[in-house]
Chains A and B, each alone.
Chain A
Amino acid sequence: MMPIPSPIEADTDSRREFLRNILAGTATATVLMVFGPGAMALSDPTRRTKNKAKHQFAYVININNCIGCGNCVRACNKENNVPASVFRTWVERYVVTDEGVYVESPNGGLKGFEAVNKKLRQNFKKSFTVPKMCNHCEDPPCVQVCPVGATFKTEEGFVLVDHAHCLGCAYCVQACPYAARYIDPIKHVSDKCDWCYHRVKNGKLPACVTVCPNKARLFGDLKDPESEVTKIFKEDQWMVLKPHMHTDPTCFYIGLPREVV
């Protein structure tokens, strides 16, 4: 099992670079906040690593590696006792044809997918599978709208729900652009993916990451320069879902086709 990386232990050069980045980032952010649109300031990548928390976790989904096996959905359901009608994570299959886009997620992709039917194959252009989950946004609308503060963002990047205080009003469910939230039909409170907070706090990876056979799902600490997510983040080739919502997700996608919503 892959351990959670230790906090940052940078050498002098990288520390200088880190400080330079912070200064540059802070200056840019300040200028943008004062003179530019607020949304641009939110996209400033350095703000993810400049806070004082020991860790800054992030999640990466590599579409090129996902085979749509549904292992992640099954592991999540088992790990978190997810009720049958709702999903903390799910996998969508896209079949892009000349006539339009065919998307499906039968039972959240829990049992994988059947072969694409003949009719679709005739006009077939491309097909791929896309895992989805809570994006643990930097500027989460669900946290903004919770009337009692029962959902919140930790310094380390988790967006969590305090079940002991949630009213079950579903305002957060409405506010989430990704439909990552639901009202638990048994507990009658809001729920969603929490990156397996209970596991991560004990040095383990989220269940979905652990079972992925093809490294389509990665999880790590942006403050650890050796972590895979940090390297991917630095390469700056990632994309996010619904960027026009300006929620600034911390769930980064690699190879995200334009058809994905």
Chain B
Amino acid sequence: MELPGDALVNFIFPNNAKVWWSVMIVLYPYLTGLMAGAFVVSALSHVFKIKEFKPIANFALIAAFCFGLFAATPLLVHLGQPQRAYEIYVTPHLTSAMSIFGYFYSGYLVLLMIEIWLIYRPYFTRMANQTKGFMGFIWYLLTLGQLEYNPASAKVDQKIIAVLAGIGIPWASVLHGYVGFVFGSVKAVAWWATALQPFIFLSSAIVSGMAVLFLMYTFIRWRQRQAYDFAMVRKYMAFLWGIFILDYALEVIELAFVVYERGYHWSLIEPLLKGPLFDSYAIMQMGILSVTPLLILGYVVLSNISGRMMIHMANFGSLILLLQVLFMRFNVVVGGQLISKSERGFVDFEWEILAKEGILTAIVLFVAPFVTYYIISRFIPIFDDPAAGKEGS
């Protein structure tokens, strides 16, 4: 293996023997991205009035909320002193890129909750009026004691929903750009330190969020034996394809810039990309997992394909994109730490299965939003129009 710094042997600094940010910190931006991406779909309907997305706007919002609920849990698991996590709220150190993440993230979650509450308020009111007993009390609590819902209140609610969705777009963008900033601003890690990092994180977040949402949509429609909205699927794929082209372009530009510059960063990154990260970055992330969806989604968008074949191809493309972004998160977070700060060697990354920050914990945290979605969907008609009480799609 080619080593940086004219090194004869792999030399890493003694405190570099461990990859301090591992699977949990891969999962954290991944879940945050799924939340931000799913939200964008709802905003495309609520704010940008893409009519094809109206039937899935509420579904996207609920999914975003479910991912959001768990987005910070990997961080909590990672902390050496999780019981002190609240200190980020009470004593934020404002020079830190991480310090106001707590406020940004929580604020965004509150915004999502309010928007969802306003959308489902007519349903809560109707259920509170119709249901007795314990469940009636729960529905009553969800109405916050307001059992009347008339056209005037609907009008006000719709206005607030539009405003919240409008605020939510820059908020989601900043939130995920912020996550990229947390990495991109670390000058000590050559593979992270690029001003493009926030934009790459943001665009890949939208890609992964849209991809996971599409997979959820087709799975739910298939399980419930309901028809697919083909017009929506075509439009959706056009957006997904377009945003992924932007995302991939940014990733290529980042690499091309460093390669062409041939400076300090490339002296460290070149051996990394040709060595320990060759398979997961060059072959997988930039190769197979990017070129395949570009071709498949391109075909879906540009050809006249329709029916089940379109759904299959769109599903396959979305699944590959979901993996592409997961690989990207891994290659950034773990890959950056593989270059020892000795600049003369590479750190070994060891996969852990049952450890606190191991694969098992990651699977549990990744599955949790889907379980939460399932539970919520048992009580709230996600694909129905909350005001009309009948299916809207």
Instruction: Produce 1/0 per residue, A183-215, CB < 8 A to B.
Output: 100011110000000000000000000000000
Q: Which residues of A contact B6 (CB under 8 A)?
A: 100-101
Which listed segment binds B: A11-19, A44-52, A144-152? A144-152
**B358 interface hit (Cβ, 8 Å):** no
Which listed segment binds B: A24-32, A55-63, A164-172, A226-234? A164-172
Q: Which residues of B contact A171 (CB under 8 A)?
A: 96, 98, 182
Q: Which residues of A contact B14 (CB under 8 A)?
A: 86-87, 90, 105, 107-108, 179
A179–B15 CB distance below 8 A: yes
B11–A147 CB distance below 8 A: no
**B95 interface hit (Cβ, 8 Å):** yes
Q: Which residue of B is nearest A142, CB measured?
A: B188
Size of B's binding interface in residues, CB under 8 A:
45
Q: Which chain B residues in 1-58 approach chain A with CB under 8 Å?
A: 5-9, 11, 13-18, 20-21
**A127 interface hit (Cβ, 8 Å):** no
> When chains A and B are docked, how far (Å) is the Cα of A179 from the Cα of B340?
8
B15–A165 CB distance below 8 A: no
**B126 interface hit (Cβ, 8 Å):** no
Interface residues of B: mostly helix, strand, loop or mixed? loop
Instruction: Produce 1/0 per residue, B76-101, CB < 8 A to A.
Output: 00111110110110011101111101
A166–B80 CB distance below 8 A: yes
Q: A-B contact count, CB below 8 Å?
A: 138
Q: Which residues of A contact B92 (CB under 8 A)?
A: 147-148
Which listed segment binds A: B241-249, B341-349, B368-376? B341-349
B99–A148 CB distance below 8 A: yes
Q: Which chain B residues in 313-363 approach chain A with CB under 8 Å?
A: 337, 340-344
Partner of B8, one of A100, A173, A244: A100
Partner of A178, one of B182, B337, B341: B341
Chain B CB within 10 A, most for which of A87, A90, A145, A167: A167
A165–B8 CB distance below 8 A: no
Q: Which residues of B contact A177 (CB under 8 A)?
A: 187-188, 341
Q: Which chain B residues in 242-292 approach chain A with CB under 8 Å?
A: 264
**A141 interface hit (Cβ, 8 Å):** yes
Give the distance to chain A from B18, nearest Cβ to Cβ, in Å.
8
Known: A147-B92, A183-B80. A104 touches B9 (CB 8 A): yes
Q: Which residues of A contact B11 (CB under 8 A)?
A: 92, 103-105
Partner of A188, one of B15, B80, B91: B80
**B189 interface hit (Cβ, 8 Å):** yes
Q: List 9 A-B contacts (CB under 8 A).
A: A92-B11, A103-B9, A143-B95, A150-B93, A167-B82, A169-B80, A170-B80, A177-B187, A179-B340
Interface residues of A (CB under 8 A from B): 85-87, 90, 92, 97, 99-105, 107-108, 132, 141, 143-150, 165-171, 173-183, 187-190, 244-245, 261
